[in-house]
Amino acid sequence: MVKNIIITGTSRGIGHELALQFANAGHNVLAISRKKSDRLLANAQITCLSVDLSEQIELEKVNQFLTQNWS
């Protein structure tokens, strides 16, 4: 069963690798980080959002994406 998965901190490190692993397993991934990764952008299962989660207005971008695409 395909799941929708949200991962933060995906520009590098564990978050980056988790996004790739879940996408390669066939899941839809919302990858959130301040900087977009070209490697993640190349994967059709991954949607990248470049946001700073410490800012309220940026959180609204995430909420807007979720309501329009994953609700």
Cβ atoms of 60 and 49 within 8 Å: the answer is no
pLDDT by residue (tens digit) across 1-58?
999 999 999 999 999 999 999 999 999 999 999 998 888 999 999 999 999 999 999 9
Residue 64: its pLDDT value, please? 95
Structural domain span for residue 33: 4-69
Residue 68: its pLDDT value, please? 96
Q: Which residue from 49, 47, 60 is spatially nearest to 4, judged by alpha carbons? A: 47
Residue 1: its pLDDT value, please? 94
The domain tally of the chain equals: 1
